[in-house]
């Protein structure tokens, strides 16, 4: 596989895992930080904005997942996909540590 397929695998992991907090808060009716808040990433966005942002992340992540040809047959693609998930998970846990305070 070409190198850019692996980049797609990594970003697929980032986008797909970023779906989780935004979508869950959105469908639960909770406000949550998003890039569309004021200030971006710090202020709170409405539940509808977060639901749509979560679904947008899911769509982009799915497209990148397909472009990256993530599969169990290609162990490297799967590993890099999970590295993307780990990176975004850690970044989110740091970025949102003060959300409830």
List pLDDT tens digits, range 37-50.
999 988 999 999 99
Q: Say what the pLDDT of residue 24 is.
A: 97
pTM of the model: 0.90
Average pLDDT, the chain: 94
What would the mean pLDDT of 49-68 be, rounded to a whole number?
98
Instruction: Give one DSSP letter per residue of the chain, joined into a string.
Output: --HHHHHHHHHHHHHHHHHHHHHHHHHTT--EE-TTSSSTTTSEEPHHHHHHHHHHHHHHHHHHHHHTT--SS-HHHHHHHHHHHHHHHHHHHHHTTTTT-
């Amino acid at each position: 596989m070409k190198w850019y397929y692996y980049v797609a695998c990594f970003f697929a992991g980032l986008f797909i895992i970023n779906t989780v907090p935004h979508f869950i808060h959105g469908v639960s009716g909770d406000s949550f930080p998003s890039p569309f808040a004021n200030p971006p990433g710090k202020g709170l966005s409405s539940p509808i904005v977060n639901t749509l942002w979560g679904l947008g992340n899911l769509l982009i992540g799915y497209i990148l997942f397909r472009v990256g040809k993530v599969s169990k047959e290609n162990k490297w693609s799967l590993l890099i996909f999970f590295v993307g998930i780990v990176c975004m998970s850690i970044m989110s846990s740091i970025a949102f540590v003060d959300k409830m305070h």
